[in-house]
């Protein structure tokens, strides 16, 4: 119920955008990995893989809200994983 209070979006809208962002993130990450073997593929990989990670992170913001997402990412037990992912 707290999740519902955190946003003006309806639950259905938030779930729909979560799915869209998550699927886009997975597709971008897979596409980036597939492009890795092309000439100059390392640049394409970097772009698509980064976009994929950003989209996947954005997807959870639709469920939790951006502030709660950031607080969860920077909790002491998750700090190392968050920093490794950001770097």
* Cα gap 75→69, rounded to integer Å: 10
Report the pLDDT value the prediction gives residue 60, as an integer from 0 to 100.
87
Its domain, for residue 61, covers 9-86
What's the domain count of the chain?
Answer: 1
pLDDT tens by residue, 56-75: 888 988 888 888 888 888 88
Query: Confidence class of residue 10 from pLDDT cuts 50, 70 and 90?
Result: confident
Question: Computed over its alpha carbons, how large is the radius of gyration of the chain?
Answer: 15
Residue 58 included in any domain: yes
Q: Which position has the token pair 């997975």?
A: 26
Q: Is the pLDDT of residue 3 over 80?
A: no
Residue 2 included in any domain: no
Residue 36 included in any domain: yes
Query: Confidence class of residue 1 from pLDDT cuts 50, 70 and 90?
Result: very low
* Cα gap 69→85, rounded to integer Å: 15
pLDDT tens by residue, 17-46: 999 999 999 999 999 999 988 888 899 999
Residue 51 included in any domain: yes
Residue 1 included in any domain: no
């Amino acid at each position: 119920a707290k999740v519902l209070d955190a946003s003006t979006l309806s639950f259905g809208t938030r779930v729909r955008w979560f799915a869209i962002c998550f699927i886009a993130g997975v597709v971008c990450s897979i596409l980036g990995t597939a492009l890795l073997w092309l000439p100059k593929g390392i640049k394409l990989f970097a772009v698509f893989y980064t976009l994929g990670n950003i989209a996947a992170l954005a997807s959870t913001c639709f469920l939790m809200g951006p502030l709660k997402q950031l607080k969860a990412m920077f909790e002491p037990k998750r700090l190392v994983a968050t920093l490794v992912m950001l770097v």
